[in-house]
Protein backbone atom coordinates (compact mmCIF):
# COMPACT_ATOMS: atom_id res chain seq x y z
CA UNK A 1 0.00 0.00 0.00
CA UNK A 2 0.94 3.64 -0.21
CA UNK A 3 3.27 5.02 2.39
CA UNK A 4 3.34 8.46 3.96
CA UNK A 5 3.57 11.19 1.35
CA UNK A 6 4.62 14.80 1.77
CA UNK A 7 4.45 17.80 -0.49
CA UNK A 8 6.20 19.75 -1.74
CA UNK A 9 9.46 17.81 -1.70
CA UNK A 10 11.40 21.07 -1.85
CA UNK A 11 10.37 24.59 -1.00
CA UNK A 12 12.47 27.73 -1.39
CA UNK A 13 10.99 30.89 0.06
CA UNK A 14 12.01 34.37 1.02
CA UNK A 15 12.39 35.46 4.59
CA UNK A 16 9.12 36.77 5.96
CA UNK A 17 6.85 34.69 3.72
CA UNK A 18 4.43 32.06 4.99
CA UNK A 19 4.75 28.42 3.92
CA UNK A 20 2.42 25.46 4.16
CA UNK A 21 3.66 21.88 4.19
CA UNK A 22 1.39 18.93 3.62
CA UNK A 23 1.41 15.36 4.91
CA UNK A 24 -0.77 12.44 3.81
CA UNK A 25 -0.46 9.63 6.37
CA UNK A 26 -0.99 5.94 5.78
CA UNK A 27 -4.70 5.22 5.59
CA UNK A 28 -6.03 3.95 8.90
CA UNK A 29 -3.23 5.42 10.98
CA UNK A 30 -4.70 7.45 13.82
CA UNK A 31 -1.44 8.99 15.05
CA UNK A 32 0.52 11.61 13.12
CA UNK A 33 3.81 13.33 14.03
CA UNK A 34 5.75 16.28 12.66
CA UNK A 35 9.51 16.56 13.14
CA UNK A 36 12.19 18.99 12.08
CA UNK A 37 15.65 17.78 11.05
CA UNK A 38 18.40 20.36 10.74
CA UNK A 39 21.57 19.43 8.90
CA UNK A 40 23.74 17.14 11.02
CA UNK A 41 21.27 17.06 13.89
CA UNK A 42 18.75 14.64 15.30
CA UNK A 43 15.04 14.89 14.67
CA UNK A 44 13.21 17.44 16.80
CA UNK A 45 9.64 16.62 17.80
CA UNK A 46 7.22 19.38 16.80
CA UNK A 47 3.64 18.18 17.21
CA UNK A 48 1.61 15.00 17.68
CA UNK A 49 -1.99 14.24 16.67
CA UNK A 50 -3.89 11.19 17.90
CA UNK A 51 -7.44 10.63 16.74
CA UNK A 52 -9.80 13.26 18.08
CA UNK A 53 -7.64 14.11 21.10
CA UNK A 54 -6.18 17.57 21.53
CA UNK A 55 -2.80 17.67 19.77
CA UNK A 56 0.43 17.81 21.74
CA UNK A 57 2.00 21.06 20.52
CA UNK A 58 4.77 21.10 23.11
CA UNK A 59 7.54 20.85 20.50
CA UNK A 60 6.53 23.83 18.36
CA UNK A 61 9.46 26.28 18.61
CA UNK A 62 7.44 29.49 18.39
CA UNK A 63 3.95 30.82 17.73
CA UNK A 64 4.91 31.21 14.07
CA UNK A 65 4.45 27.45 13.78
CA UNK A 66 1.04 25.82 13.70
CA UNK A 67 -0.42 22.57 12.43
CA UNK A 68 -3.81 21.17 11.68
CA UNK A 69 -5.15 17.75 10.92
CA UNK A 70 -8.43 16.95 9.25
CA UNK A 71 -9.93 13.98 11.07
CA UNK A 72 -7.51 11.09 10.69
CA UNK A 73 -6.17 12.14 7.32
CA UNK A 74 -4.21 15.02 5.88
CA UNK A 75 -2.18 17.36 8.05
CA UNK A 76 -0.67 20.73 7.22
CA UNK A 77 2.19 22.44 9.01
CA UNK A 78 2.22 26.20 8.57
CA UNK A 79 5.19 28.44 9.27
CA UNK A 80 4.40 32.15 9.25
CA UNK A 81 6.93 34.91 8.65
CA UNK A 82 9.68 32.41 7.90
CA UNK A 83 13.18 33.03 9.21
CA UNK A 84 16.47 31.66 7.94
CA UNK A 85 16.78 29.42 11.00
CA UNK A 86 13.60 27.65 9.86
CA UNK A 87 15.59 26.10 7.02
CA UNK A 88 15.52 22.34 7.59
CA UNK A 89 13.88 19.13 6.45
CA UNK A 90 10.38 18.74 7.86
CA UNK A 91 9.40 15.12 8.32
CA UNK A 92 5.98 13.67 8.90
CA UNK A 93 5.33 10.22 10.33
CA UNK A 94 2.22 8.20 11.08
CA UNK A 95 1.55 5.17 13.22
CA UNK A 96 -1.39 2.90 13.80
CA UNK A 97 -2.34 4.09 17.26
CA UNK A 98 0.48 6.10 18.78
CA UNK A 99 -0.39 4.77 22.21
CA UNK A 100 3.24 4.11 23.04
CA UNK A 101 6.57 4.22 21.32
CA UNK A 102 6.54 0.55 20.45
CA UNK A 103 3.97 1.53 17.81
CA UNK A 104 6.16 1.77 14.71
CA UNK A 105 6.35 5.19 13.10
CA UNK A 106 6.41 5.31 9.29
CA UNK A 107 8.06 8.37 7.85
CA UNK A 108 7.46 10.34 4.68
CA UNK A 109 10.35 11.55 2.51
CA UNK A 110 10.25 15.02 4.05
CA UNK A 111 10.00 18.56 2.72
CA UNK A 112 13.29 20.42 2.40
CA UNK A 113 12.62 24.06 3.28
CA UNK A 114 15.14 26.73 2.38
CA UNK A 115 14.57 30.27 3.57
CA UNK A 116 16.64 32.85 1.72
CA UNK B 1 17.55 16.70 30.09
CA UNK B 2 18.28 13.51 28.22
CA UNK B 3 20.99 13.74 25.58
CA UNK B 4 22.03 11.17 23.01
CA UNK B 5 25.49 10.93 21.52
CA UNK B 6 26.31 9.14 18.31
CA UNK B 7 29.65 9.34 16.58
CA UNK B 8 29.41 12.21 14.14
CA UNK B 9 32.32 10.93 12.06
CA UNK B 10 31.52 8.57 9.24
CA UNK B 11 32.39 4.94 9.81
CA UNK B 12 34.16 3.21 6.91
CA UNK B 13 33.99 -0.57 6.90
CA UNK B 14 35.20 -3.13 4.38
CA UNK B 15 32.48 -5.25 2.80
CA UNK B 16 31.99 -8.52 4.65
CA UNK B 17 33.17 -7.19 8.00
CA UNK B 18 31.00 -6.39 11.00
CA UNK B 19 30.03 -2.75 11.46
CA UNK B 20 29.43 -1.56 15.02
CA UNK B 21 27.73 1.74 15.79
CA UNK B 22 27.43 3.30 19.24
CA UNK B 23 24.64 5.23 20.93
CA UNK B 24 25.31 6.73 24.35
CA UNK B 25 22.78 8.54 26.51
CA UNK B 26 23.38 10.74 29.51
CA UNK B 27 20.57 10.57 32.02
CA UNK B 28 17.88 8.10 32.94
CA UNK B 29 17.70 4.75 31.24
CA UNK B 30 14.75 4.71 28.86
CA UNK B 31 12.19 1.95 28.78
CA UNK B 32 12.93 1.40 25.09
CA UNK B 33 15.55 2.28 22.57
CA UNK B 34 15.07 2.14 18.81
CA UNK B 35 17.37 2.10 15.80
CA UNK B 36 16.46 3.54 12.41
CA UNK B 37 18.11 3.73 9.01
CA UNK B 38 17.98 6.90 6.94
CA UNK B 39 19.04 7.16 3.30
CA UNK B 40 19.76 10.54 1.65
CA UNK B 41 16.56 12.39 0.81
CA UNK B 42 14.39 9.85 2.62
CA UNK B 43 12.73 9.61 5.99
CA UNK B 44 14.01 7.24 8.69
CA UNK B 45 12.99 3.59 8.51
CA UNK B 46 12.48 1.62 11.71
CA UNK B 47 14.83 -1.33 12.20
CA UNK B 48 14.79 -2.65 15.74
CA UNK B 49 13.45 -1.88 19.19
CA UNK B 50 15.05 -3.15 22.39
CA UNK B 51 13.54 -2.91 25.85
CA UNK B 52 15.44 -2.08 29.02
CA UNK B 53 15.10 -5.64 30.33
CA UNK B 54 16.52 -7.12 27.11
CA UNK B 55 20.26 -7.37 26.75
CA UNK B 56 20.25 -8.24 23.07
CA UNK B 57 17.92 -8.31 20.06
CA UNK B 58 18.56 -9.80 16.64
CA UNK B 59 16.98 -9.48 13.22
CA UNK B 60 18.68 -11.20 10.30
CA UNK B 61 22.16 -9.62 10.05
CA UNK B 62 21.36 -6.96 12.65
CA UNK B 63 22.04 -7.15 16.37
CA UNK B 64 21.35 -4.55 19.03
CA UNK B 65 22.56 -4.58 22.62
CA UNK B 66 21.41 -2.39 25.49
CA UNK B 67 23.60 -1.85 28.56
CA UNK B 68 21.82 0.27 31.15
CA UNK B 69 24.91 0.33 33.38
CA UNK B 70 27.07 1.84 30.66
CA UNK B 71 24.09 3.85 29.31
CA UNK B 72 24.90 2.56 25.88
CA UNK B 73 23.42 0.68 22.96
CA UNK B 74 25.50 -0.97 20.27
CA UNK B 75 24.17 -1.70 16.79
CA UNK B 76 25.94 -4.38 14.77
CA UNK B 77 25.61 -5.30 11.11
CA UNK B 78 27.35 -8.59 10.31
CA UNK B 79 28.55 -9.56 6.83
CA UNK B 80 28.15 -5.93 5.80
CA UNK B 81 27.27 -5.05 2.22
CA UNK B 82 27.58 -1.79 0.23
CA UNK B 83 23.75 -1.62 0.31
CA UNK B 84 24.01 -1.19 4.09
CA UNK B 85 25.59 2.23 3.54
CA UNK B 86 23.30 4.81 5.15
CA UNK B 87 22.97 6.95 8.26
CA UNK B 88 21.84 5.05 11.34
CA UNK B 89 19.89 6.89 14.02
CA UNK B 90 19.12 5.83 17.56
CA UNK B 91 16.09 7.15 19.39
CA UNK B 92 14.83 6.59 22.89
CA UNK B 93 11.75 7.20 24.94
CA UNK B 94 11.18 10.76 26.05
CA UNK B 95 8.82 12.12 28.68
CA UNK B 96 5.67 10.74 27.08
CA UNK B 97 4.73 7.43 25.54
CA UNK B 98 4.90 8.74 22.00
CA UNK B 99 7.80 11.19 22.10
CA UNK B 100 11.22 10.03 21.02
CA UNK B 101 14.55 11.74 21.63
CA UNK B 102 16.83 11.31 18.63
CA UNK B 103 20.54 11.11 18.10
CA UNK B 104 22.11 12.91 15.14
CA UNK B 105 23.06 9.62 13.53
CA UNK B 106 26.24 8.01 12.30
CA UNK B 107 26.97 7.67 8.60
CA UNK B 108 28.10 4.17 7.67
CA UNK B 109 30.01 3.56 4.45
CA UNK B 110 30.60 -0.02 3.34
CA UNK B 111 33.38 -0.24 0.78
CA UNK B 112 33.39 -3.08 -1.77
pLDDT per position as a tens digit, A1-44: 589 999 999 999 999 999 999 999 999 999 999 999 998 889 99
**What's the gap in Å between the CA of A9 and the closest CA on chain B?**
9
Q: Check pLDDT > 90 for residue A56.
A: yes
Segment B46-52 shows an average pLDDT of 93
Q: Quick one: pLDDT at residue B15?
A: 97
Pick among A21, A44, A101 to test the B interface (most B CBs inside 10 A): A101
Closest CB from A31, A59, A101 relative to B32: A101
**What's the gap in Å between the CA of A24 and the closest CA on chain B?**
14
Q: Quick one: pLDDT at residue A101?
A: 67
Query: What percent of chain B is modeled with pLDDT above 90?
Result: 74
Segment A57-82 shows an average pLDDT of 94
Distance CA A45, CA A74 (A): 18
Which residue pairs from B40-47 have beta carbons closer than 8 angstroms and sit at least 24 positions apart in sequence? B41/A109, B41/A110, B42/A107, B42/A109, B42/A110, B43/A4, B43/A91, B43/A93, B43/A107, B43/A108, B43/A109, B43/A110, B44/A43, B44/A91, B44/A107, B44/B89, B45/A107, B46/A104, B46/A105, B46/A106, B47/B88
Phi, psi of A86 (to 5 degrees): -80, -10
Pick B3 or A75 by higher pLDDT: A75
Q: Check pLDDT > 90 for residue A102.
A: no
Task: Find the closest chain B residue to A101 by CA distance.
Answer: B98
Q: If you average pLDDT over every residue of chain B, what do you get?
A: 93
> Is B12 in CB contact (< 8 Å) with chain A?
no
Binned at pLDDT 50, 70 and 90, residue B56 comes out as very high
Query: What percent of chain A is modeled with pLDDT above 90?
Result: 81
Binned at pLDDT 50, 70 and 90, residue B95 comes out as confident
**What's the gap in Å between the CA of A17 and the closest CA on chain B?**
24
Contact (CB, 8 A) for A23 and A76:
yes
Alpha helical stretches, state H, A9-60: none
Amino acid sequence: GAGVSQSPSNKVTEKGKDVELRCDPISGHTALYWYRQRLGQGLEFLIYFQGNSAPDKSGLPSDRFSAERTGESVSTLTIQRTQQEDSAVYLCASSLEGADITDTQYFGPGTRLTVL
Amino acid sequence: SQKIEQNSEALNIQEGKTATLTCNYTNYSPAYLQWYRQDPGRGPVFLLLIRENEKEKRKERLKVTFDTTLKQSLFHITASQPADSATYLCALAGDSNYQLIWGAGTKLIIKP
